[in-house]
């Protein structure tokens, strides 16, 4: 029975050795692939190594770095968050937060980058590279906010300009309508005045009748004068010739 216990212990120890060798082998392969910039193969090796040893964060950290080098920034952020959950030392947390900040900078998410670098400095306040990146992220965040404010101001100015243009267009149209209305009113008034003038200039039937009557009377009087003149001439001629004259029995008017 005692001998069986020794055998079981040796088997477990041997298994641990084999697992450790497999972990180290996968880590070595990952490091080699990472060194020649084959980040896809490196990520696969580090992922296998992490599955062999869940307590060691090195494989998880290297896996996240491989994904970062593949420019898959959102996935890299998620991988660094996984590292942070398993990290036990301040140095492990510092490295994960630092690289997470780098990923956020690539995504231009400067606000989250500032927070990531701030957490990295909390775990290692002496890291000058982290401090520099932290300052750069704050600067980029401020510039980005200023740019957004400028864009908002520009949008407001453009909206105001558009509103003013619309108001001016409406005013111009209203003025044009008023001018056309005034012009129409003037035309109507001119037409009315012309009609009145034409009406005034148009001969009155009653006046025409009176004028005709007057003209007839003048003609009649002229005819009488002519007739009387003719009679006088005839009388004078009779006196001269001593012959009677005949007065016409019909009127010539």
Mean pLDDT, residues 67-81: 96
CA neighbor of 44 nearest in space, from 54, 57, 33, 58:
33
Task: Assess contact for 85 and 116: CB atoms under 8 A.
Answer: no
For the entire predicted model, the pTM comes to: 0.56
Distance separating the N- and C-terminal Cα atoms of the chain: 179
Question: What does the pLDDT read at residue 194?
Answer: 79
226 backbone φψ class: left, alpha, beta (φ>0; ψ -120 to 50): alpha
For the chain, what are the domain ranges?
A: 2-150, 210-245
Please give the structure tokens belonging to residue 214.
Answer: 């007057």
Mean pLDDT, residues 92-120: 97
CA neighbor of 77 nearest in space, from 47, 99, 50, 51:
99
CA dihedral 202, 206, 209, 211 (to 10 degrees): -70
Q: Confidence band (pLDDT; 50, 70, 90) for 253? A: very low
Secondary structure (3-state) at 202: coil
Secondary structure (3-state) at 108: coil
- So what's the architecture of 2-150 in CATH? Alpha Horseshoe (1.25)
pLDDT in tens, 115-166: 999 999 999 999 999 999 999 999 999 998 888 877 676 767 677 777 888 7
Distance CA 212, CA 193 (A): 30
Q: Give the distance, in angstroms, between the CA of residue 213 and the centroid of all CA atoms in the same chain.
A: 85
- Burial pattern 36-63, b for ≥16 Cβ within 10 A else e, equals eeebeebbbbbbbbbebbeeebbbbbbb
Distance CA 124, CA 181 (A): 81
Q: Confidence band (pLDDT; 50, 70, 90) for 7? A: very low
């Amino acid at each position: 029975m005692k001998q069986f216990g020794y055998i079981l212990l040796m088997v477990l120890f041997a298994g641990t050795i084999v697992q450790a060798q497999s972990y180290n082998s996968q880590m070595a392969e990952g490091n080699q692939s990472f060194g020649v910039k084959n980040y896809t193969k490196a990520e696969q090796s580090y992922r296998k190594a992490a599955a062999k040893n869940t307590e060691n964060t090195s494989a998880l950290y290297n896996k996240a770095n491989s994904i970062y080098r593949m420019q898959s920034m959102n996935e890299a952020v998620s991988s660094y968050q996984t590292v942070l959950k398993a990290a036990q030392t301040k140095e492990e947390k510092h490295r994960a937060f630092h690289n997470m900040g780098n990923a956020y900078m690539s995504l231009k998410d400067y606000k989250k980058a500032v927070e990531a670098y701030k957490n990295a400095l909390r775990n290692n306040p002496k890291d000058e590279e982290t401090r520099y990146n932290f300052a750069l992220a704050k600067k980029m965040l401020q510039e980005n906010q200023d740019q957004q404010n400028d864009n908002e101001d520009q949008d407001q100015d453009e909206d105001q300009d558009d509103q003013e243009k619309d108001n001016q267009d409406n005013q111009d149209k209203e003025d044009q309508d008023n001018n056309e209305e005034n012009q129409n009113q003037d035309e109507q008034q001119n037409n009315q005045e012309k009609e009145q003038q034409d009406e005034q200039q148009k001969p009155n039937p009653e006046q025409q009748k009176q004028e005709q009557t007057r003209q007839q009377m003048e003609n009649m009087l002229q005819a009488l004068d002519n007739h009387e003149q003719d009679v006088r001439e005839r009388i004078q001629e009779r006196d001269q010739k001593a012959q009677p004259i005949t007065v016409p029995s019909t009127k010539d008017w």
